[in-house]
Amino acid sequence: MNRVWPVAFGCLGLLLVGGLYAQNTDTPKKLIVEKGIVYGKGGTQDMKLDLARPTGKGPFPAIVCIHGGAWTMGDRADLSRPTGFFGGKSLIEMLAEEGYVAATVSYRLAPAAKFPAQIEDCKAAVRFLRKHAEKYAINPDKIGAVGFSAGGHLACLLGVCRPEDNLEGMGGCEDCASAVQAVCSFFGPTDLTGPDMTNDLVVKSIMEPWLGFNFKDNPEVYRKASPVCYVNKKCPPFLFIHGTRDPVVNLRHSHDLAKKLTELGISAKVIEIKDAGHGWGGKNVELSSQKMLEFFRETLK
């Protein structure tokens, strides 16, 4: 494995490539933005989200946005911070202007919090939005998820896992469902049992701090954290967007999960970004953003 792994996997996602942040931080007048909303508990810790929504009664479809950072770093603010790629707006503001209630969520980070804390928190956030759908003008039957890198992995788990998989946690709003109706993954890992995820460098620097075990000692936890192991006929549509030269998360991760989904008759498409690595800039941002928006229009509206 290339030594770029620990640094590259810390990439916070497509939106932050190049560090291009806009100077204008004004919130567009047509949007309502709320930050620091407590959505539940991660152990004893208050878990928070930032939310942007259109004005009007709605109800609007919702999209949960999940940051990357190798499950050990990153912050929800990475996706609520203005970026030059969207004309001075953040991802959640851009999505709100497209007619969605968009929420970027915090989740507990490793090594302090081991798996499945991260997916438990994301599921609690979905349940919170569904429970408070009327307050935030959300259509509770139309909630999607988008994630980047490690966040893409968590978005995939949201899409494939069912209550009987025992990853719901006790973060709050347990009387509501955590299911999502569409998933878009940007270069997220889907199978943690392959050699690219279980070699010594990756295990020591990323997997062991997060999963708590070496693969050789406990392969079952690696399987339990792998979205490909949960595919079922009730999964929602998926879109995968992935660079063909990603040195961190091999392109095969998107294709492997897409293949399993399509074999069960579930819509799953892989968009390959030619010659791109683990994240990208320039015209590919516009291309991939448009593909994401087209997907959510088809599946949530």
Whole-angstrom distance, CA of residue 250 vs CA of residue 199: 14
User: What's this model's pTM, rounded to 2 decimal places?
Assistant: 0.92
Domain boundaries, given as residue ranges, for the chain: 5-14+43-55+62-300
- pLDDT for the residue numbered 83: 83
Q: Collapsing DSSP states into helix, strand and coil, what is residue 87?
A: coil
CATH of span 5-14+43-55+62-300: 3.40.50.1820
Residues of the chain with pLDDT under 50: 1-28
Render pLDDT for 218-269 as a digit per residue (tens, 0 to 9): 999 999 999 999 999 999 999 999 999 999 999 999 999 999 999 999 999 9
- pLDDT for the residue numbered 269: 98
- pLDDT for the residue numbered 29: 52
- pLDDT for the residue numbered 30: 86
Cβ contacts of 40 within 8 Å, gap of 6 or more = 47, 121, 124, 125, 127, 128, 171, 172, 173
- pLDDT for the residue numbered 87: 72
The two structure tokens encoding residue 118: 């991260």
